[in-house]
Amino acid sequence: MAEQSTVFIIDDDEAVRDSLSWLMKSAGLLAETFASADAFLNDYREDRPGCLILDIRMPGMNGLELQSVLKERRYRLPIIIISGHADVPMAVRALKAGAFDFIEKPFNDELLLGHVQRAIEQDRHRREDMAALYQWRARLDTLTPREREVLDLVVAGASNKKISGELGVSTKTVEAHRARVMEKLQAESLSHLVRMVISAREG
Amino acid sequence: MQRQLFALLLFLFLPLAQASQPITIGVLSHRGDEATLAHWSGTADYLTEVLPDYRFSIVPLAFEEVTPAVEGEKVDFILVNPAIYVNLEVRYRVSRIATMRNRWGDDAYNTFGGVIFARAERYDLNSLSDLKGGTLLAVNESSLGGYMMALREFKAAGIEPYRDLRDVSFAGTHDKVVMAVRNGRVDAGTVRTDILERMAEEGQINLNEFRIINEQTGEDFPLLRSTRLYPEWPFSKVRHTSNLLARQVSVALAEMPEDHPAALLGNYAGWTIPLDYQPVHDLLQELLLPPYQYSRQFTLLDVWQRYWAWLFSGLILLLIMGGLTTWVLRLNRELSHAKQRLEQRHALILDSVADGIYGVDTQGNSTFVNRAMEEITGWKADELIGKNQHYLLHHTRADGTPFPGQECPVYHTFRDDKPRYVDDDIFWRKDGSSIPVEYSSTPIRDDNGKVNGAVVVFRDITERKKAAEEARQHQMELAHVSRLSTMGEMASGIAHELNQPLSAISNYTHGSIRMLKSGQEGIRRELIEVMERVASQAERAGEIIRQLRRFIRKEEPERNAVDINQLIRELVNFLQPELQKAGVELQLQLEQGMPLLWAHDIQLEQVLLNLTRNAIEAMQELPKSSRRLLIRSSVLQTEVEVLVEDSGQGIDEAMRESIFEPFITTKTQGMGLGLSISRAIVEDHGGTLLLDSAAGQGTRLRIILPIEQRGA
């Protein structure tokens, strides 16, 4: 599918971000480096998958601030916080604010790469789910109001007879609506239809 | 011209006139001056004739003129009625030389009386009591025949004229009395005997016009009368008149023939030897008249009448004095109240002050004390007043040495008359404990401005000292904490700084290893590049370490002269609460006269604090009774030793080797830096920190510092 995942590295220390980029490359991952949070924000587009490695202590906008900006913009890129040992309280705050993980300098490369892999995986899943959801919503929008009513009653477990009673139409008409709904939503079976409706609600 | 001639003649005859000495005879002029001169000039001429060396003349005297004339020696002889005579006799030593013989027709008699009469048609008036409610006219209050004699008769009849009669008045002369009665202006009158007869003879009245009241008869007295008889007028000499002249006049009068023209002119019949005037005395006594006005029983009224002016003045004076006394008493009472109030206020002020206040006299004894003084010192006022304050309160200095009285600042105050303030001293309580105090001592002066003692105001400064100590402790703790936190921050800063190159190195090398393991082709150039970056990151770490060293060297502390004993005392003061809390018994053995050290006092204090705290903590497990801490200072030849020894468990052999290493600790809480820092500080001062310990025998740490000269 679409684009390959990228590891976005933000650290004010050039050696650190360069060495991280080298480490990612050695593991076969694409990496892009930024010297500041602002530089990243100027460059990044939401549709680019991957994860973020963020130094919590930086001049200008620090890691925590960037995290809240991303949250405001509804960018859901997973964030791995890196920090020196004295920054534990800040790291805890970052985690509470929804960071994916937190790792102390200097890094254990296996550990860091493991986190990065998992973060990329999570991001990919999320993006697939989102795509499915958008597709579903697009299909749902093709239903007429009457078909929506029939769909809601079907998912609620009502029989055709009951639906015809509720809507004041014949059973035959109900069956015709139902067939249109199944077709428009590309549902293979009743159970498939119900599952899709429920997962779309949860998303 | 004629006048001048007369004057000349008078002048020529003057020596002749001088030859005859003028002699005056005062005569009571009871019938008027003209009548008097007419009656008595003959008698004067007679005497001048008989005694040619003298020239006698008559001076008529009204009743009121008699006494002044005698008193002022205006007359040489006096011819007055017997009552006046008696008075003059008593008061002015006048003495009678002859008594007149009165003449009536062919008879001569030497007594007379008074006659009370009314108009003849007043048939209602017969006895004296008939006159009650009526009016009476008399000659004069001093007239014997013309008033007193009648008065005596009224009184004898039980009548008080002034009370019982409507009016008693006086006309001045006999003749006026007679005429007033005749004219009906009064009911009755009284005159001496013979006045009526003579006036009738002279044709002025007719005897038939009158009736006599209480008429008396008998005693061979020819004239109308209403009273008893009294001796006739005496001729008397005044005191200054010579006895010789008096005798000559007396003889001349006695020898005057009964029918001498002078006697005829005077309506008398010559003179006899002076009579006894006792009846007159009786009368005057009875009537309580002068000179007997005092002889009656004195009644309060009399006293009042006679002395009212005196009594009144006396009374006024008494009232004024009473008033004054009351005023003075009240003033005194008010003053004493005011004084009392002042004293009360004084005492109230003194007692409400929280500071102790007491007075000291020049003997050094307390003169007064206030309540705060009693409360602070535990001594009662009566135990202090009159006692030597220095030996009660001030006998020993804070360091335990005796405080001689000669050095007491309070005594210096009144010796040199200068106020003093001592901000840190101790006073001793009754129970033997001491109180830290600050006090002022101010000289007090008596009314003459001479210093007669001092007032001492003192304050218990336990709280102040405690607060200062707490502030100091707080400050020390702050300094300690800030030192620690600086260290902490620095450590964290260093960690971060070092972390950056280390992280980079770690990332580069791990990445390279991964690359090499994967066996990719054509990465050699790239790997060399990365290895160069690794090397430069290692250099970066080295530079950080170098910078750190430079930074530490910059903090070279300043040194100054330090009294190690003073430092130890301050530390002990600072740690007092901790020692007490830990139940540690502290023993201080400080050698006197320690040399000053050239050192950084805060650092040395830090070392002492570390060692002492370690010692206190090392004894936590022990029973309280065996927690003992010894701090001892002493001088070794060229060094100073401070020893800190506890009675704790000691340090086992294994630990002993590494106890000075950083981050090695026997304590559950602690960084393990205390001893290592302490050793570093001591060594920095050119000294050594030694450990002397055996397990179970307590720990002994010895700080040995060289005695260095400044700048050495």
Contacts of B153 (CB under 8 A, 6+ apart): B114, B116, B128, B214, B226, B227, B228
Residue B685: band (very low, low, confident or very high) from pLDDT cuts 50, 70, 90: confident
Task: Please answer yes or no on whether B507 and A86 come within 8 Å at the CB atom.
Answer: no
Task: Please answer yes or no on whether B511 and A22 come within 8 Å at the CB atom.
Answer: yes
CA distance A79 to A67: 8
Nearest to B511 among A15, A16, A25 (CB): A25
- How many other CB atoms sit within 10 Å of the CB of residue B357? 19
- The CA distances from residue A200 to A74, A98, A196, B407, in Å, are 19, 23, 6, 100
The alpha carbon of residue A75 is apart from the nearest alpha carbon of chain B, in Å, by 28
ipTM score of the complex? 0.77
User: Which residue numbers of A have CB closer than 8 Å to B's CBs?
Assistant: 13, 15-16, 18-20, 22-27, 57, 82, 84-86, 105-107, 109
pLDDT of the residue at B686: 85
The alpha carbon of residue A138 is apart from the nearest alpha carbon of chain B, in Å, by 45
Instruction: Tell me, yes or no, if B530 comes closer than 8 A to chain A by beta carbon.
Output: yes
pLDDT of the residue at B712: 41
pLDDT of the residue at A25: 92
Phi, psi of B38 (to 5 degrees): -65, -40
8 A C-beta contact, residue B223 and residue B117: no
pLDDT, mean of residues B546-565:
73
Q: What residue type is assigned to position B150 of the chain?
A: A
B523 CB neighbours in chain A (<8 A) are none
Q: What is the percentage of chain B residues whose pLDDT exceeds 90?
A: 18
Residue A182: band (very low, low, confident or very high) from pLDDT cuts 50, 70, 90: confident
pLDDT 10s digits, B363-411:
888 888 888 888 888 888 888 888 888 888 888 887 777 888 778 888 8
Phi, psi of B485 (to 5 degrees): -70, -35
Q: Peptide bond preceding B577: is omega within 30 degrees of 0, i.e. cis?
A: no
Range name among A7-16, A57-66, B570-579, B661-670 with the lowest pLDDT average: B661-670
8 A C-beta contact, residue B76 and residue B241: yes
Task: Please answer yes or no on whether B540 and A27 come within 8 Å at the CB atom.
Answer: no
Nearest to A15 among B492, B500, B513 (CB): B500
Query: Position of tokens 């749902």?
Result: A140
CA distance B629 to B580: 12
- The CA distances from residue B564 to B173, B604, B614, B679, in Å, are 132, 9, 20, 17
8 A C-beta contact, residue B88 and residue B61: no
Task: Please answer yes or no on whether A23 and B511 come within 8 Å at the CB atom.
Answer: yes
Range name among A106-115, B148-157, B541-550 with the lowest pLDDT average: B541-550
DSSP string, B187-255: SEEEEETTHHHHHHHTTS--GGGEEEET----TT--S--SS--EE-PEEEE-TTS-HHHHHHHHHHHHT
Please state the separation of Cα B17 from the chain's center in Å.
79
CA distance B260 to B223: 23
Query: The whole model's pTM is what?
Result: 0.37
Residue B26: band (very low, low, confident or very high) from pLDDT cuts 50, 70, 90: very high
CA distance B421 to B410: 10
The answer, yes or no, to whether residue A171 has pLDDT greater than 90, is no
The alpha carbon of residue B512 is apart from the nearest alpha carbon of chain A, in Å, by 7
CA distance A153 to B276: 180
| Order of strands, sheet of A79-83, starting from the edge strand that comes earlier in the sequence | A30-34, A6-10, A50-55, A79-83, A101-104
pLDDT 10s digits, B243-297:
888 998 989 888 888 888 888 888 888 898 888 888 888 888 888 877 877 655 5
